Amino acid sequence: MTVRIVPDQSVRKTMLINGDADLDMWTTEPMIADLKDKPNVEVNPSPTNRWVMRIFFNLAAKGTTDPVATPHPILSDLRVRQAIRAAIDVDTISKEFFLGYAKPAWTEFFRPPYTCDLPRPKFDLAAAAALLDEAGWKDTDGDGTRECHGCKTAEEGYVMEMEFITYAEYGEPLELTQQFIAEQLGKIGIKLNLTVVEGSVLWGASADGGIEQNGNFDMDIWDDGYAGVDPTDFLWSYYSVDAAVPDAGYNYGRWSNEQFDALLGDVYTLDEGQRKKDFCEMASMLDAELPELLLFTTVNADAHSSRLQNVQSSTNDLVTWNSADWVIK
Amino acid sequence: MATYVLRRLIQTAGLLALLSVLLFALVNLAPGGPLAGQGQSRHIDPAKVELLKRQFGLDKPLPTQYLVWLIGNDWMQVDKDGDGALDSYGTRRGILRGDFGFSFRTRQPVLTEIGQRLPNTIYLMTITMGLAVLVALPIGIISAIRQYSLFDITVTTFSFAGQAVPEFWLGLILILVFYAWLKNPFTGGPLLPPGGMTSTGSVGFDLGDRVLHLILPVATGALGWVAWYSRFLRSSMLEVIHRDYIRTARAKGLKNWKVLFRHALRNALIPLVTLLALDLPYIFGGAVFVEILFSWPGMGRLYYQAALDRDYPILLAVLIIGAGFIILSNLLADIVYAYLDPRIRYE
């Protein structure tokens, strides 16, 4: 097997079509769409998805990491987070920017063996606007952006304007999604200022100026999910109170819930029935409190030439995991 | 002249020392770090991050890290296994003793990484710039002596286009045309390869294969240089051919080609040669877009990847060696200028 590093995606695509390459790893959505009808190329998606595109809400004021001492003036109100959820049209994002390869996901427990039956949130701009009204965020000056008029988390007149960050490496589909979400939230009076940074800046350690570890954000969007079949460690690192300490984990929103933490301790058991029950209880808590807003899964696929057979993408490993079984026709 | 060169070399050492401090500070203070997740690799286990920090010496204060980078750490105890306790003397010798450390990403010595890529970049850039000069020279000369002719206007238009067209776009179009669309009439395969230095699976040196792989990257890289050098030579020639001594040469009855090539061109070339000397660092630095687009394993790609990965040792080595090249090429330009123009004397 000869491995060639071809940095440019369009060159890789052309090489595959021309038959000069047999495999392209981590094929992106636009490339899948371009390749799907080519006679000598096959796209092999993983049978299960792992990566869930999600919005992280900072529950502490931007630049701080303690949501109790310094709560976020906008996002610490649950109704605001719920309004944001109701204002995002996931189906349009999937169809337009991820070219139909994104599948709606609204809970961490969307795939076997731990699936929990939670109703899918509805896209409803009117309901979203009503939630913001109820939370005391109104646009009284008619400039299209709401201000705090009776809200409980900010000073009177505080403008509903936030920074919305994503990372550059994913590419165009995510950047378009970021812009689309900003437009949609703009319709209900939430103004988002968009920023695109490198992953190393977004996820860097606090000493390296990492945006999330230092709490230097309002909202950001990126994708992650647990590998394999056991979500326990993943849940700990994203939702436990211990993981909310800078550099200790990835609970960037600094959400804390004692009951959730207790359940996290309980699921370290071999009793599958208990685990399923606990996980679904956790799912309900996360759905009710919305520390993160899960939107959709992204595709995990690799493209290969038709002459290369038995290729099977896996969301848990590189596509080469079963290369011993590959056959060239 | 010797005194001047010596003085400039001493100044160069001082300038490099100052640059080393600035570059080290800038690279280290930029947001993001070498131990952060990148691209699809979201996170590294926090415990592992701490261990790596100690092993790489990133837990030390910045001035100490600078000192280690400069003079090494073989005089101090370090935490080799990353367990939090100093256990043995370090092995780094510092850049002043020719040790640029090792890459955080590949764990290979920096000079090994550079040594693997520098010949590829010199190979590509020498041919690109050499070809650009060879093409630009006649274009510039003819444009000047046939000022406002159809040739001049056409070349001027193409020169502006050549300078305006971004390399990444031109490269993609060339790949599309010569790799995806046009076919080799004998083999039925693509007319030209889309990238790399040699064909996949090729063994040994195959001149034909090498040349085929050079055509597209060289064409992409050279277009801008051709436009730039030809425009420069045209204006330089125009300035010279209207001088009094050219008129005198013509009045004395010298043949036109003699006037142009013996008197005008020699003087018009002086600023171009200086410009070429100033452009020499590109032979070391490479062309990032061309190397990425054509999968060329050179310095430009190494630097780009190191910047994305925050691979400080590689970044710093490329930057400081690049700075040295720039300073030395400036000195070279001054020397060449004095050699070509007898009126110039350095005291």
pLDDT tens for residues B211-258? 999 999 999 999 999 999 999 999 999 999 989 999 999 899 888 888
Residue in B with minimal Cα distance to A26: B40
Residue B94, number of CB atoms within 10 A of its CB: 19
Residue in B with minimal Cα distance to A166: B39
B180 to A11: CB separation less than 8 angstroms, yes or no: no
Residue in A with minimal Cα distance to B47: A248
Tell me whether A250 touches chain B (CB under 8 Å). yes
The predicted structure's pLDDT at residue B49? 80
- What are the beta bridge partners of residue B190? B183
Tell me whether A205 touches chain B (CB under 8 Å). yes
Tell me whether A249 touches chain B (CB under 8 Å). yes
A203 to B33: CB separation less than 8 angstroms, yes or no: no
Closest CA to A115 of A44, A48, A45: A48
Residue in B with minimal Cα distance to A12: B194
List pLDDT tens digits, range A2-24.
888 898 888 999 999 988 899 99
The answer to whether residues B175 and B194 touch, using CB atoms and an 8 Å cutoff, is yes
Look up residue A311 and give its two tokens: 């290729």
Nearest to B195 among A6, A17, A211 (CB): A6
Residue B62, number of CB atoms within 10 A of its CB: 12
Instruction: Collect all residues of chain A within an 8 Å Cβ-Cβ radius of residue B172.
Output: 8, 10-11
A248 to B32: CB separation less than 8 angstroms, yes or no: no
Closest CA to B237 of B322, B319, B168, B145: B145
Rounded to the nearest angstrom, the gap between the alpha carbon of residue B332 and the centroid of all alpha carbons in its chain is 16
Tell me the CA distances in angstroms from B195 to A8, A31, B21, B120, B286, one per residue in order: 10, 19, 38, 13, 16
Chain B residues 281-320 with CB within 8 Å of chain A: 292-293, 295, 297, 301, 308-310
Instruction: Collect all residues of chain B within an 8 Å Cβ-Cβ radius of residue A196.
Output: none
Tell me whether A25 touches chain B (CB under 8 Å). no
- What are the beta bridge partners of residue A114? A111
pTM: 0.83
The one-letter code for the residue type at A265 is G
For residues B137, B138, B139 and B142, what is the CA-based torsion angle, rounded to 10 degrees? Answer: 130
Tell me whether A140 touches chain B (CB under 8 Å). no
Look up residue A205 and give its two tokens: 């350690």
Would you say how long chain B is, in residues?
347
Instruction: Give the distance from residue B310's alpha carbon to the nearest chain A alpha carbon, in angstroms.
Output: 8
Tell me whether A78 touches chain B (CB under 8 Å). no
CA–CA dist A261, A248 (Å, integer): 15
Backbone dihedral region for residue A301 (phi beyond 0: left; psi -120 to 50: alpha; all else: beta):
beta
In chain B the beta strands, taken as DSSP E runs, fall at: 77-78, 88-89
A200 to B190: CB separation less than 8 angstroms, yes or no: no
Q: What is the mean pLDDT of chain A?
A: 95
Tell me whether B31 touches chain A (CB under 8 Å). yes
The predicted structure's pLDDT at residue B347? 63
The predicted structure's pLDDT at residue B39? 46
Angle at A61 between CA A55 and CA A65, to 5 degrees: 85
- What are the beta bridge partners of residue A23? A304
List pLDDT tens digits, range A283-318.
999 999 999 999 999 999 999 999 999 999 998 889
The predicted structure's pLDDT at residue B35? 78
Instruction: Give the distance from residue B26's alpha carbon to the nearest chain A alpha carbon, in angstroms.
Output: 13
Nearest to A205 among B36, B194, B309 (CB): B36
A199 to B33: CB separation less than 8 angstroms, yes or no: no
List pLDDT tens digits, range A70-124.
999 999 999 999 999 999 999 999 999 999 999 999 999 999 999 999 999 999 9
Residue in B with minimal Cα distance to A168: B39
Tell me whether B36 touches chain A (CB under 8 Å). yes
List pLDDT tens digits, range A110-119.
999 999 999 9
List pLDDT tens digits, range A148-182.
999 999 999 999 999 999 999 899 999 999 999 99
Residue B272, number of CB atoms within 10 A of its CB: 20
The predicted structure's pLDDT at residue B40? 47
Mean pLDDT to the nearest integer, A117-139: 97
The predicted structure's pLDDT at residue B43? 67
Q: Between A204 and A60, whose confidence is greater?
A: A60
Residue in B with minimal Cα distance to A17: B180
What's the helix, strand, coil split of chain B in %, to 5? 70, 5, 30
Residue in B with minimal Cα distance to A11: B194
Residue in A with minimal Cα distance to B302: A7
A133-158 as b/e: b if 16+ CB within 10 A = bebbbbbeeeeeebbbeebebbeeeb
> Could you tell me where the DSSP H helices lie in B259-298?
265-279, 281-285, 288-293
Residue numbers in chain B where pLDDT is lower than 50: 39-40
Closest CA to B23 of B70, B72, B91: B70
The answer on pLDDT for A271 being more than 50 is yes
Instruction: Collect all residues of chain B within an 8 Å Cβ-Cβ radius of residue A8.
Output: 172, 292-293, 295
Residue B14, number of CB atoms within 10 A of its CB: 9
Instruction: Collect all residues of chain A within an 8 Å Cβ-Cβ radius of residue B180.
Output: 14, 17-18
A6 to B309: CB separation less than 8 angstroms, yes or no: no
The predicted structure's pLDDT at residue B42? 62
The answer to whether residues A313 and A45 touch, using CB atoms and an 8 Å cutoff, is yes
Instruction: Collect all residues of chain B within an 8 Å Cβ-Cβ radius of residue A5.
Output: 295, 297
List pLDDT tens digits, range B190-205.
999 999 999 887 778 8
Instruction: Collect all residues of chain A within an 8 Å Cβ-Cβ radius of residue B31.
Output: 197, 201, 204, 208-211
